[in-house]
Structure 1
Amino acid sequence: MELYVNREHLLKEIEYPARFKAENLFKSSAIIFVSLLVFLLLFKPFGMYAPEYKINYFFICSLHALCPALIVFIYFSILNFFTQRKQHWTLLEEYSQIGVVLILTGITSFLIRDLIYNNPDNWSFNYLWEEIRNCFIAGIFFYFFLRLVSFYLQSKKGSPFVLQFIPLCVDPPKKEIEATLFINTQVKQDDFSLNIDDLLFVKADGNYIELTSAIDNQIVIELKRISLTQFETQLSGYPHFFRCHRAYLVNMFKVEKVSGNSQGYLLSFHETSEKIPVSRKQLDSFNHCYEQLRQQNVA
């Protein structure tokens, strides 16, 4: 039977996990330490002969729980310091980094054997292989267990919609609306034409608006004298423009990624690192708008 691997899923760029960010690393390491310590104390997985123990079993468990917690903290601290992981991250890369952490944990567990066991074969290759193998088996189990727990807690806090978001796209033959729109302002000399296909989002600035567009892979920002409400009214014939916040209007076809929960979303775009908020009261409307556009796009 052929093993199926979804390469596109593994290689697609995703947001850098919050658990690995510098501000959350200590908390993540503490969770790893406590989880492992409780597991080791409850199930006593070590099959060593008790008279070989140099220290109390509680301290043995503490050392084995502390090693991976420290390695995760140090390893990802170094990774955060020397690389721009917040900009480039995939599931394949995450699994690779976890694999490195598990190898380091296995090697560390082998190196501390002399502190724990009174065994003349502590430095044998067999024990090195055994420690690395056991770390991989237990480590993979704990990694996915903690991910499931994290997913459950996050889903209780907020909507799982963001996990199902697939960027919308428009097939050129299906487009039935003009790309260029003439915008009327209160002052005739301020009227202007706008290519809506290039427009990413609009931001309110008092009686003015900031238009952010992507033209030939370059971000262009224009300031126009018209209120966001007046501007939105003239876009009523374009259902893919959505008022996601009192100060923002977005082109739904340009949204690349959605993150957040029931307290609000953050919209990301391929062309810029700026994120646009979706207010809490607009979440249901945003979800409904997305579903309608997606169904129209599939039809």
Structure 2
Amino acid sequence: MRRFLLQPYPFVYHVGRKLRVCAGIGLFITLFLGVFQPFGLSTLPQQTVWLHALLFGLVTFVISGLLQAGLPRIFPQPFSEAHWKSWKELLYLFIILLFVAAGNYALLEALYGNRHGQRSFWSVLLITAEVGVFPLIFVVFLKQLMLYRRYAAAAQEVNVELKAPPAPQTPEAIAAPQPALLTLRGEGQKEQLDLPANAILFIASSDNYVRVAFLKNSAAASQLLRASLKSMEQQVAAHPQLFRCHRMYLVNLDQVVQVSGNAQGLRLHLQGTTEAVPVSRSLTQTVKDRLAHLSHSPQ
């Protein structure tokens, strides 16, 4: 259990997607209450049943939507995917569940007063926690396991390709001149970094700066430039091995020596550094194809 709780877990902040999920849950609550009419709803007129069911669904949507879509925007640092674990996902969902239960209890009080039963607010939360904790654990565990297997298998496929012997060099490739220096310019007048394109390991976004990691005398080094990652992407557009693999990273695919995978996706391990570069899950197949192509290209 401890190993599962400490595993990396995906967290993607996509407001539209999260609100659609919350709307689906709210709709399910509305339909469930309207069709099965539990908790004494069957004693109400049919039109009132559906109105009240809609209110409970709306409360569920509003509270879960605010917490799912609003909280990561207000406090982005705690929700960074780089540090997101299974236990954080469970705790986050559990807190949302309790807030939804509290909101629906408040609506219950407003609609029916003491007619709904003798349970106190805290007993309702305790029952909600007891009922909800095991389904949450099961769903998170199942998703974590499925994603881990998917990306671990994808990483294994890429590693097989990387270990395959490269195609022999053509006479044209042997006679080709050494590549010229690539100039990366920041926003400042004197911000400039000149280095061979193949010396670059990755370029990472860091607030208003980018961190350029590169090989210098066979050792890893880095330098900050005041620039956006989009600007860097435009400056290296003539070098297809420098690829935007993540919203925060450009990576030199020629420097990839190994690939690993977990529930958050693929991680690229590069020559000369222990820092792994993440791959956006939407770009998994693209990165696999590019690495396979490069591994079979003449060196």
2: CA distance, partners of 1:34 / 1:139: 22
TM score, norm. by length of structure 2:
0.52
Aligned residues: 232
Contact between 2:215 and 2:221, CA under 8 Å: does it hold in 1? yes
Q: Indicate which of 37, 48, 65 corresponds to 1:73.
A: 65
Q: CA 1:58–1:288 in structure 2 vs 1: closer, same or farther (change >3 Å)?
A: farther
Greater relative contact order (Cα < 8 A, sep 6+): 2
Structure 2 match to 1:28 = 21
* SS of residue paired to 1:255: strand
For structure 2, list consecutive stretches of 5 or more residues without a partner in the other structure: 160-173, 182-195, 204-211, 225-237, 246-250
TM-aligned CA distance change 1:187 to 1:135, over 3 Å: closer
Aligned residues with identical type, % of pairs = 14
Separation in structure 2 between the aligned mates of residue 38 and residue 143 of structure 1, nearest angstrom: 25
String of CA shifts for 1:43-69, please: whole Å, max 9, x gaps: 33x232644789811122112222222
The counterpart of 1:62, out of the listed 47, 50, 54, is 54
Residue number among 182, 186, 209 corresponding to 2:177 in the alignment: 186
Q: Does 1:90 align with 2:81?
A: no
What are structure 1's unaligned runs of at least 5 residues? 171-182, 203-210, 222-226, 233-243, 291-299
How far the C-alpha of 1:103 sits from its partner, in A, is 1.0
Do 2:259 and 2:267's aligned partners in 1 also have CA atoms closer than 8 Å?
yes
Bigger proportion of residues as helix: 2
Q: Structure 1 counterpart of 2:114, which letter?
A: N
Q: Which residue of 1 aligns with 2:207?
A: none
Aligned position for 1:9? 4
CA RMSD of aligned residues (A): 5.7
Seen in structure 2, the aligned counterparts of structure 1 residues 95 and 25 have a Cα distance that, compared at 3 Å, is same
For residues 121 and 258 of structure 1, do their structure 2 counterparts lie closer, same or farther at Cα, with a shift above 3 Å needed? closer
> Which position in structure 2 is the counterpart of 1:107?
102
Give the TM-score, by structure 1 length.
0.52
Query: CA separation in 2, counterparts of 1:32 and 1:106?
Result: 13
Q: Structure 1 pair 91/138, CA: closer, same or farther in 2 (3 Å)? A: closer
Measured in 2, the distance between the counterparts of 1:54 and 1:139 equals 33
Single out whichever of 95-104 and 50-59 deviates more from structure 2.
50-59
Deviation at 1:287, TM superposition (A): 8.4
Aligned counterparts, 1:33-44, within 5 A: 33-44=26-37
TM-aligned CA distance change 1:279 to 1:72, over 3 Å? closer
Counterpart position of 2:131: 137
Cα separation, 1, equivalents of 2:50 and 2:123: 24
For 1:94 and 1:217, locate their aligned partners in 2 and report how far apart those are by CA, in whole Å.
34
Compared with structure 1, are the counterparts of its residues 100 and 55 closer, same or farther at alpha carbon in structure 2 (3 Å cutoff)? farther
CA distance in 2, matches of 1:188, 1:287: 23
CA contact (8 A) 1:41 1:61 kept: yes
How far is the alpha carbon of 1:251 from its aligned partner?
A: 4.8
How far residue 100 of structure 1 moved from its aligned partner, in angstroms, is 0.6
